[in-house]
Chains A and B, each alone.
Chain A
């Protein structure tokens, strides 16, 4: 562990915490622009967080400690996830502690807690949301694992930093397996981050929501943590995508100065990715909830095909 490593690790966490709401604001801005509307400021999510942190947190009468603790657990999981994904540098002291499988586990851990918390207070919407979240989660997680396995087949390791290092060093050869995995990954990310066409982040229409139903009973600082956690999750997913499929520009242990370059490159990549997400959301309608399993099964299938292609091409 080098000092530079500790520095880049800290930089990554701080950057994730700071940039995540900005990414959400950026996407919202693009969504508004694409609908011919005047957009809210890109800083709106920060204002929202500021407001929520200053508000009183109202708890249901029968809420258990689980309900109170869940926002911290979710936020912690998302922050840790952002820390182990090599976004700026592959020289991360935390990364040996968690590989791709642990990353998926972290997301699952957060999901279990938020779903339990939603059911804890016993409102029908919370239960409804928890049920739907589980329906999506149990299909999205294996698909995400398969995507990560396709990538790890190339590097022969499930450690995220090794994967990124291997992929970043390749020549500009086309890995057909990664193309399949890339499409699968986009589908999983849409589902996991409650975006159109699976969920609608802009609605509070009580009967159709998924993510909003889970956090309906939260207020004040708890809600702030959950909202922040949600932006962190989106940020983390975007970073996984960038690290796996567009790894160029990430600094490595041997090149400390590359960190200077890594940051602007990442921001540029996120900005383009965010705008593309907004385009995707604008042109699609939300699907019926029972189409979601088919949608996610497609992702799983694509990821499996990616793995098979890798084996076939090499064999």
Chain B
């Protein structure tokens, strides 16, 4: 593979999307990153793993880059004694928190990276405890420590003061701490502190049988359960070199689009409510509730948890369900069109939405804003359009983008995506309904996991952005276990951009801006 004139020896992984993997040395690590950046690629994920007893030995740090041609998974084996690697922050600023998390979890550090504050560890973990190391379990039993103070960056000046918010909030939302430095009502700086929901999911993956772990993947972030389950299953199927049946693919896409619409409906209502337009919340909540109830009836779960399983989907739907789902698409489209008109023509609401929480395209490109928020800031990337995998390759997904990068743009992208998803669902449902609901063959195939070490990745466009799962499979000597499973949420990239989006805005606009991004705490803290 050629990256900005640099030739890289890659191995193509068996996956529905073009995914390559390469192992590099420390000198090439940053060279490739610069090359990726030069041809407008994005950093998708950065994580580290402990391979001490595996075939390659020692620690490794991995990065996943999105290029125009596909995904590039780069591995850098590290020395066991002093596991350090070149810092990526100067090239991809979004890598900072991922590098800090890798340091917390495995003790591997980026050389020259100035920010040495822990990120997921709030100072309470036992001494020398690095959860993802092989010997992590032994040290986990040691006593917890007192939480340490976090060194927030201080803003000095006349009349500057701090407002600490969270981790416990007034509403029932996920925990996260926000430290505002303000002058009057104007926000000069926001600094986040996350990690309150860290629960050791990546560690848990290694203890689960691989065919069961899709349930854990589906619980990384409840609002993206379908996307995570699909990404995990894609990775596991790629380990087993299993081809998915056409009908199974269509059903998965149906679930993913239903998840997207459910979340967009919820967000659109909540955005109205944050501007005290309770009518919007009431209407969208009603639509969302109907949507979830039909999901429960058709697929057995309101959020469609555990509907995607390795090798296919848990259950097929019959033609009655197809009809009901089709009718619901029509009804929701009609109502959302009417509500969009109300939102668009409500001057008070538009006044709150427009120019609030702006991330201009240049900044978004430089700092790597991704997913839905990225598309609202002119970053036209959507895996369903750019690298359409089955069944999206037959659906011709239309991307929704805006360039203004404010709350209004993120609202507009949500509306557009709802309509596009409804269109996709109609196409999918009409195919599923052909031949009396029997077309497309099997919905589930058995996986045969190989008796060797394998690397595989899953990459799916969830409602918030691209969800990535990197899987290391250890099948040697009958081990048959997951050696490492890294789940990556697009929130990692977007949380730091939220800090930028609020600069210069006023404090009471923050809830609106925050909601317009609606990032995941659980998916980030893992």
A interface residues with partner B (beta carbon < 8 Å):
31, 34-37, 124-125, 128, 131-132, 196-197, 200, 202-208, 282-291
Write the nearest CB–CB distance from A27 to chain B, whole angstroms: 13
Interface size bucket, B side?
Answer: 20 to 34
Q: List 14 additional contacts besides A196-B276, A286-B275; criterion CB under 8 Å.
A: A35-B278, A35-B279, A36-B283, A124-B162, A203-B276, A207-B165, A207-B507, A284-B348, A285-B275, A285-B277, A286-B352, A288-B506, A288-B508, A291-B351
Among B277, B283, B349, residue most surrounded by chain A Cβ atoms (within 10 Å): B277
Task: Give complex CA distance A203, B515 in Å.
Answer: 15
A34: chain B residues at CB < 8 Å are 279
Q: Does B170 contact A205, Cβ atoms closer than 8 Å?
A: yes
Given known pairs A204-B171, A290-B185, the reply for A37 and B282 (CB within 8 Å) is yes
Q: Can you name 25 A-B pairs with beta carbons within 8 Å?
A: A34-B279, A124-B164, A125-B163, A197-B348, A202-B276, A203-B276, A204-B170, A204-B171, A207-B511, A208-B274, A208-B508, A282-B279, A285-B275, A285-B277, A285-B346, A285-B349, A285-B352, A286-B275, A286-B277, A286-B348, A288-B506, A288-B508, A289-B508, A290-B185, A290-B506
A289: chain B residues at CB < 8 Å are 185, 506, 508
B interface residues with partner A (beta carbon < 8 Å):
161-165, 169-171, 184-185, 272, 274-279, 281-283, 286, 346, 348-349, 351-352, 506-511
Partner of B352, one of A207, A283, A287: A287
Task: Give complex CA distance A31, B169 in Å.
Answer: 25
Q: Does B276 contact A285, Cβ atoms closer than 8 Å?
A: yes
A291: chain B residues at CB < 8 Å are 351
Given known pairs A35-B278, A288-B351, the reply for A208 and B163 (CB within 8 Å) is no
Q: Does B278 contact A282, Cβ atoms closer than 8 Å?
A: yes
Report the nearest B residue to A196, measured CB to CB. Answer: B276
Q: Does B511 contact A208, Cβ atoms closer than 8 Å?
A: yes
Partner of B274, one of A125, A205, A287, A290: A205
Q: Does A287 contact B348, Cβ atoms closer than 8 Å?
A: yes
Write the nearest CB–CB distance from A190 to chain B, whole angstroms: 12
Given known pairs A285-B348, A288-B351, A289-B506, the reply for A128 and B163 (CB within 8 Å) is yes
Task: Give complex CA distance A290, B418 in Å.
Answer: 33
Report the nearest B residue to A200, measured CB to CB. Answer: B276
B162: chain A residues at CB < 8 Å are 124
Write the nearest CB–CB distance from B182 to chain A, whole angstroms: 9
A204: chain B residues at CB < 8 Å are 170-171
Write the nearest CB–CB distance from A213 to chain B, whole angstroms: 10
Task: Give complex CA distance A202, B185 in Å.
Answer: 22
Q: Does A207 contact B282, Cβ atoms closer than 8 Å?
A: no
Report the nearest A residue to B169, measured CB to CB. Answer: A206
Write the nearest CB–CB distance from A1 to chain B, whole angstroms: 46
Write the nearest CB–CB distance from A98 to chain B, whole angstroms: 34
Report the nearest A residue to B166, measured CB to CB. Answer: A206
B511: chain A residues at CB < 8 Å are 205, 207-208
Task: Give complex CA distance A203, B275 in Å.
Answer: 10
Q: Does A287 contact B351, Cβ atoms closer than 8 Å?
A: yes
Report the nearest A residue to B348, measured CB to CB. Answer: A285
Write the nearest CB–CB distance from A211 to chain B, whole angstroms: 13
Q: Does A206 contact B276, Cβ atoms closer than 8 Å?
A: no
Task: Give complex CA distance A291, B354 in Å.
Answer: 14
Report the nearest A residue to B274, measured CB to CB. Answer: A205
Report the nearest B residue to A288, measured CB to CB. Answer: B352
Task: Give complex CA distance A284, B348 in Å.
Answer: 7
Report the nearest A residue to B343, measured CB to CB. Answer: A285
Q: Does A35 contact B282, Cβ atoms closer than 8 Å?
A: yes
Among B165, B170, B171, residue most surrounded by chain A Cβ atoms (within 10 Å): B170
Task: Give complex CA distance A203, B272 in Å.
Answer: 13
6 tightest A-B CB contacts, nearest first: A286-B276, A285-B348, A35-B282, A200-B276, A208-B508, A285-B277
B506: chain A residues at CB < 8 Å are 288-290
Write the nearest CB–CB distance from A125 to chain B, whole angstroms: 8
Q: Does B170 contact A206, Cβ atoms closer than 8 Å?
A: yes
Task: Give complex CA distance A33, B272 in Å.
Answer: 18
Q: Does B165 contact A206, Cβ atoms closer than 8 Å?
A: yes
Task: Give complex CA distance A204, B161 in Å.
Answer: 22
Q: Does A31 contact B286, Cβ atoms closer than 8 Å?
A: no
A36: chain B residues at CB < 8 Å are 282-283, 286
B170: chain A residues at CB < 8 Å are 204-206
Task: Give complex CA distance A203, B511 in Å.
Answer: 12
Among A204, A286, A291, residue most surrounded by chain B Cβ atoms (within 10 Å): A286
B278: chain A residues at CB < 8 Å are 31, 35, 202, 282
Report the nearest A residue to B282, measured CB to CB. Answer: A35
Report the nearest B residue to A208, measured CB to CB. Answer: B508
Among A35, A37, A285, A290, residue most surrounded by chain B Cβ atoms (within 10 Å): A285
Among A206, A283, A289, A291, residue most surrounded by chain B Cβ atoms (within 10 Å): A206
Task: Give complex CA distance A276, B278 in Å.
Answer: 16
Task: Give complex CA distance A70, B276 in Å.
Answer: 29
Report the nearest B residue to A127, measured CB to CB. Answer: B161
Write the nearest CB–CB distance from A30 to chain B, whole angstroms: 12
